[in-house]
């Protein structure tokens, strides 16, 4: 059963679904690009790693709910002192926060002959968009590294929550954004503003100067990921999406 939305499905943004959605989008994009890029290029999954601790503002995006998994029994005789008939504190079992090593995946397009990376493709995660979080700091560090290199950068932001792209001009109002920064023209990046009511675009993926751009159909990526992962079986469309849709989004 297909998604009821024409483009990005806002229900897939939920913290309960997004880690799997992110993985599936990356997998499908890699597969489609490898079909069109061979034999000159191939696509690889890379990872950056950072540590999230209890002071990380992005912690809730990684562990959204901390719940009591075992509580005291109010009716148990052990909750009262036999000598004084006074209530006695009982323990509960909670999740202990410890430092977590977070792995975030991204795609690289590699030139086969020179074994060099010509483009980096990022599909943003919630932690990349939370100001002050470890995930955002890690992402910004990688972004600056790519922007200072001879590598193209493609950023795909399919999350309505959080801080969007950094541009000198004000971004057009939209729900989602795609940004392509070519290594030879960093100051003039191409941005696709996308509404919930619109299909996802076909974007140009720059390669080496002598080769034409590759094309990546983001709508095909999404549809394939949705069907392959059977998201219609896990998404409850009777409830509101997280985050909820606004009037502007559904107008």
State pLDDT tens for residues 140-162: 999 999 999 999 999 999 999 99
Highest mean pLDDT among 80-94, 104-118, 175-189 belongs to 104-118
Q: Which domain holds residue 146?
A: 10-250
Q: Is residue 109 situated within a structural domain?
A: yes
Confidence of residue 31 (pLDDT cuts 50, 70, 90): very high
Q: Count how many Cα atoms sit within 13 Å of the Cα of residue 245 in the half-sphere of its side chain.
A: 18
Q: Is residue 123 situated within a structural domain?
A: yes
Q: Count how many Cα atoms sit within 13 Å of the Cα of residue 173 in the half-sphere of its side chain.
A: 5
Per the structure, the count of domains in the chain is 1
- 42-80 burial, b for 16+ CB within 10 Å, e for fewer? ebeeeebebebeeebebbebbeeeeeeeeeeeeeeeeee
Q: Is residue 218 situated within a structural domain?
A: yes
pLDDT of residue 211: 97
pLDDT at 122 over 60: yes
Q: Is residue 240 situated within a structural domain?
A: yes
- Distance CA(249)–CA(58), nearest Å, equals 25
DSSP letter at 199 equals P
DSSP letter at 232 equals G
**Lowest mean pLDDT across 22-26, 34-38, 75-79, 192-196:** 75-79
Q: Is residue 2 situated within a structural domain?
A: no
Highest mean pLDDT among 81-95, 116-130, 214-228 belongs to 214-228
Alpha helices in the chain (DSSP H): 18-37, 59-62, 134-147, 218-228, 247-250
- Which has the closest alpha carbon to 219: 245, 251, 191, 194? 194
Show the tokens assigned to 119.
């483009």
Q: Are strands 152-157 and 116-123 parallel, antiparallel or unpaired?
A: parallel
Q: Is residue 150 situated within a structural domain?
A: yes
Q: Is residue 208 situated within a structural domain?
A: yes
């Amino acid at each position: 059963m297909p998604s009821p939305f024409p483009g990005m499905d806002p229900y897939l943004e939920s913290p309960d679904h997004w880690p799997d959605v992110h993985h599936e989008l990356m997998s499908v994009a890699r597969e489609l690009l490898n079909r069109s890029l061979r034999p000159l290029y191939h696509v690889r999954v890379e990872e950056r790693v950072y540590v999230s601790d209890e002071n990380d503002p992005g912690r809730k995006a990684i562990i959204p709910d901390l719940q009591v998994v075992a509580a005291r029994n109010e009716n148990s005789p052990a909750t009262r002192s036999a000598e004084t008939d006074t209530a006695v504190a009982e323990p509960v079992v909670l999740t202990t926060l410890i430092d977590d090593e977070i792995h975030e995946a991204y795609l690289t397009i590699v030139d086969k002959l020179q074994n060099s990376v010509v483009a980096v493709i990022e599909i943003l995660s919630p932690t990349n968009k939370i100001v002050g979080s470890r995930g955002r700091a890690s992402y910004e560090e990688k972004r600056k590294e790519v922007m200072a290199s001879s590598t193209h950068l493609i950023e795909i932001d399919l999350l309505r929550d959080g801080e969007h792209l950094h541009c000198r001009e004000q971004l057009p109002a939209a729900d989602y954004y795609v940004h392509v920064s070519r290594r030879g023209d960093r100051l003039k990046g191409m941005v696709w503003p996308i509404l919930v009511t619109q299909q996802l675009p076909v974007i140009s993926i720059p390669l080496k100067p002598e080769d034409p751009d590759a094309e990546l159909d983001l709508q095909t990526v999404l549809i394939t990921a949705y069907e392959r992962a059977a998201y219609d079986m896990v998404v409850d469309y009777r409830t509101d999406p997280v985050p909820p849709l606004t009037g502007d989004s559904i107008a």
